[in-house]
Structure 1
Amino acid sequence: MKKQFWTSILGLALATLSLSSNAVSQEVPELTLQQAEQLREQALESTLALDITASLTTEVGARLPGTDADKKAVEWGMAKLQSLGFDKVWKEPVSIPVWLRLHESAEVIAPFPQNLIISALGGSVSTPKNGLEAEIIHFDSIEALESSADGSANNKIVYISKRMEKHSSGRGYGDAGPARFRGAASAAKKGAIGLVIRSIGTDSQRSPHTGVTSYEDGVTKIPAAALSNPDADQLDRILAHNKTTTMRLNIQTEVLPDATTYNVIGEITGSERPDEIVAIGGHLDSWDQGTGAVDDASGIGITVAAAKLIAQQQRPKRTIRVVMFGAEEIGVFGGKQYALDHADELAKHIIGAESDGGAGKVLALSSSVSHESLHVVDEMLKLMAPLGVVRSSAKATGSADFGPMVRAGMPAVGLVQDFTPYFDIHHTPDDTFDKIVPEELAQNVAAWVIFVKLAADWPGRFN
């Protein structure tokens, strides 16, 4: 009995020692913390992200999925990663629909004739060749439209006037966005022959915001467009006269046979755990009217630069994988395909994050990790504090492209940016390189190198 007692005590002591040893081994190594601090300072002085962003927006320009420019962007991505010395560079095919913008115009016919500035929504069908002319029926929100009586919009053009509110968090996008996402299908169900919405944007320029719209199987597809905010204001004032208001709308688009684009992938192979992946990236495509600088060439620049700066200092213990996703703008095709292609290595994806919030400063860090690994996020925040980054209580989602992986179980962080300026130019012709503030872009890279360095070198797991 006494022997059993001491055997039990010895076993408990060994177990306790083992747990204590494991706990110690799961701390972030002091050397890693010191190196991350050094990387932060180097990133603040580096112009690499700015140079990459300038290269993509200048040498390729707008990159609408399925176009020749999209193909050129894929070639650019492969060449850029190779030139920067990534150990492995490859591309993975993504099948996509191809939609082209040909012509768009709108005008008020009555009671006060005048031209309006519009942008066809991505995926919109065409009007008849000579356009269509119909009375406008006004709804102040998508919810008001959807709760209206069946047939309320018969043979009319639905106009949704909800204004997107400006917030540093960008939450106004979630409030106003559904008018674009599902407005065309909802209007068609009420009998409408066309849809015009106030742009999902926060500016006061005559630059309408495009973005993809969705149709539903079995529901008539109707042409859909966004008005610039000043033109929406003008239309609101016209409608306030309570007179029948008639609009002429002409949208010409083309749908080509499905095509193939690519996810472009580069890796820096880990020195100790090469099969474990820290996955980062942005999307390579853009809309066709600007040059996609903040959406999302800056995200490409930030994540590629972060990986390169880490590799220059010392090879990471885990593999850092940078993904330049294809065809995000038209429906997250690259992100969805990546999740399918890499489903069997989900467990190897230790953690991931996408930069797709423009080039504004990182304000906060969110996470979706286990309770046992939160202390690593705490260490990241300590190192990011001089950059002005605080903790976000929100759950990290992986953004659009890594979203499918996160929903499947991949841990994630979110480097939450200041959206105050972002939605002024989001999806407009004004999304150009001159809108990038170099110091703010560098601050992003400084935050990203901290996250990636600690995630790559910490010995534990985030789930």
Structure 2
Amino acid sequence: MKNKNIFLIAGIALCAVVLAGAFMFNSSSTLDQFQPIVTDPLAKAKEFNSQNALDFSKTICSLGPRYGGNDAEIKAADNMETEFKNNGINAYKEKVDLGNGKYTYNVIGEIKGSESPEKYIIIGSHIDSPGFCEGATDDAAAMGIQTEMARVFSTGYKPKQTVLIVGFGGEEMWFKGSDAFVKGHPEVVKNCEAMIDLNCVGAGKQVSLIGHSNQPKPVNGDPKLIDLMKQCAKQLGYSAVTGTTTYPSDTYPFYYNNDKVPVLQVMSQPFEVAPWSSANTFDKLNSKDMNKIGQTVTMTVLNLTE
């Protein structure tokens, strides 16, 4: 009888241990699903590697001028989509009509939000270049920064909102790609909490946060985004200043939609090489400048989505 009682008690104890372990496993798995992994945005931002960004920028520059839906622009879009996927995030292309039978693409990389997936943070650049140059700073360097951000974000990062990393086609043709995106995705735009656009980066003295541009109509950078990015740059040891420029790039359609998305154009200024110049070639890009922009924007997005 004693032996039976001992075996019965031991069996009950074993079952309790197994059930407790299963409960703990399921609970921790569920919690991990919803708890953000990034506890140190500064350390995460420093995972950004400018060499990876430069390598992709070089690939884009080697295609030559990317303009008006030519073969180089289409190939650049294909390369961007592939690089997003290789770096671990969901990606797809959307066709953009340029008129007269011509077309290009927007390329969208997506990291789904864990708590508010219907809310959006957008990081933009443009895929095309002026029609006579390879456009290293305008805007191949930005594409390289975006693909490297995708790599950094693909592990250990669960944003509360959905993050979209977008390469817009047809920017040089008065923002065709971003205009098509705004018109084609009204719900995204309505629920967009920030649109940060990288334009003319990778070869300049400072991180320049554009407070005002004036053509074709005035666009003002969001003061809260400017303040946050300055704080992030300072923590990283970089200088960020408020600047001005002539053209607003792809912030324009977002700024002038009915929902008034908070926008901020980010540039490297003063320019080491004029963006609209045949001298704007890959060899002008600077690793330190790429890191300044890449790490600062990465840390800003981490803070916006924590």
TM over 0.5, yes or no? yes
Residue 392 of structure 1 corresponds to 242
C-alpha spacing 1:275/1:338, structure 2 compared with 1 (3 Å): same
Residue 94 of structure 1 is aligned with which of 92, 96, 120? 96
What is the match of residue 358 of structure 1? 201
Deviation at 1:402, TM superposition (A): 2.5
What's the secondary structure of 1:270's corresponding residue? coil
Task: Indicate the percent of aligned positions where both proteins have the same amino acid.
Answer: 25
> For 2:50 and 2:271, how far apart are their aligned partners in 1?
25
2:194 counterpart of 1:346: no
Instruction: Work out whether 1:55 is the aligned partner of 2:59.
Output: yes
Q: 1:306 aligns with which of 143, 146, 149?
A: 149
Matched, 1:65 2:77: no
CA deviation map 1:33-82 (0-9, x unaligned)? x5221123322x54221122112223x33212222222222222221222
Paired amino acid for 1:421: E
Residue 332 of structure 1: aligned partner: 175
Residue in 2 that maps onto 1:296: 139
Partner residue of 1:317? 160
What TM-score do the two structures reach when normalised by structure 2? 0.75
Change in CA separation of 1:308 and 1:361 when aligned onto 2, cut-off 3 Å? farther
Inter-CA distance 276–285: structure 2 relative to 1 (3 Å threshold) = same
For the residues of structure 2 that align with 1:77 and 1:347, how far apart are their CA atoms?
26
Q: What amino acid is the match of 1:412?
A: V
Equivalent residue number for residue 436 of structure 1: 285
**2:77 match: secondary structure:** helix
Looking at structure 2, the residues matched to 41 and 303 of structure 1 have their Cα atoms a distance apart, in angstroms, of 15
Letter in 2 for 1:37: L
Tell me the distance in 2 between the aligned counterparts of 1:420 and 1:382.
Answer: 23
How far apart are the structure 2 equivalents of 1:418 and 1:284? 20
Q: 1:420 to 1:74 in 2, by over 3 A?
A: closer
Aligned counterpart, 1:140? none
Tell me if 1:455 matches 2:304.
Answer: yes
1:357-376 map, 5 Å: 357-359=200-202, 360-365=204-209, 368-369=221-222, 374=224
Distance 1:456 1:72, change over 3 A: same
Q: For residue 363 of structure 1, what is the amino acid of its counterpart?
A: V
SS of the residue 2:299 aligns to: helix
Q: CA-to-partner distance for each residue in 1:134-188, whole Å, 9 max, x for gaps?
A: xxxxxxxxxxxxxxxxxxxxxxxxxxxxxxxxxxxxxxxxxxxxxxxxxxxxxxx
Matched to 1:64, the amino acid is Y
Rounded Cα–Cα distance in structure 2 between residues aligned with 1:441 and 1:361: 11
Q: CA 1:397–1:331 in 2, change beyond 3 Å: closer, same or farther?
A: closer
Are residues 284 and 366 of structure 1, via their aligned partners in 2, closer, same or farther at CA, if it must alter by over 3 Å? Answer: closer
Structure 2 residue aligned with 1:200: none
C-alpha separation in 2, matches of 1:309 and 1:73:
21
Amino acid at match of 1:55: T
Cα distance 1:391–1:305, how it changes in 2: closer, same or farther (>3 A)? same
Contact 1:358 1:422 in 2 (8 A): no
Shift of 1:391: 5.1
Q: CA RMSD in A?
A: 2.8
1: CA distance between counterparts of 2:294 and 2:256? Answer: 26
1:397–1:307 distance in 2 versus 1, CA, 3 Å: farther
Q: Structure 1 residues 308 and 274, CA, compared in 2 at 3 Å: closer, same or farther?
A: farther
Q: What is the CA-CA distance between 1:304 and the residue it aligns to?
A: 2.7
Tell me the TM-score normalized by structure 1.
0.51
Deviation at residue 417 of structure 1 after TM alignment? 2.3
- Structure holding more helix per residue: 2
For structure 2, list consecutive stretches of 5 or more residues without a partner in the other structure: 1-35, 212-220
Q: Secondary structure at the match of 1:65?
A: coil
Matches of 1:268 and 1:398, distance apart in 2: 29
Q: Are residue 418 (structure 1) and residue 269 (structure 2) matched? A: yes
SS at match of 2:101: strand
Structure 2 contact 108–165 (Cα < 8 Å) conserved: yes
SS in 1 for 2:266: strand
What CA deviation, in whole Å up to 9, does each residue of 1:221-266 have, x standing for no partner?
A: xxxxxxxxxxxxxxxxxxxxxxxxxxxxxxxxxxxx4312111111
2:40 to 17, 20, 35: 35
Whether the 8 Å contact between 1:397 and 1:414 is mirrored in structure 2 is no
Q: Aligned pair in 2 of structure 1 residues 379, 349: CA closer, same or farther (>3 Å)? A: closer
| Equivalent residues of 1:78, 1:90 under 8 A apart | yes
Q: Which runs of 4+ in 1 moved over 6 A?
A: none
Secondary structure in 2 aligned to 1:329? Answer: helix
What secondary structure sits across from 1:351 in the alignment?
strand
1:392 aligned partner, one-letter code: T
* Deviation of 1:345 (Å): 2.8
What code does the residue aligned with 1:41 have? K
Shift of residue 393, structure 1, vs aligned partner: 7.7
SS in 1 for 2:305: helix
Give the gaps of 5 or more residues in structure 1: 1-29, 98-256, 458-463
Deviations, residues 342-395 of structure 1 (Å, cap 9, x unaligned): 22332221101110123124434456448xxx4x7645433311433345287x
Q: Output the CA distance in 2 between the equivalents of 1:421 and 1:399.
A: 20
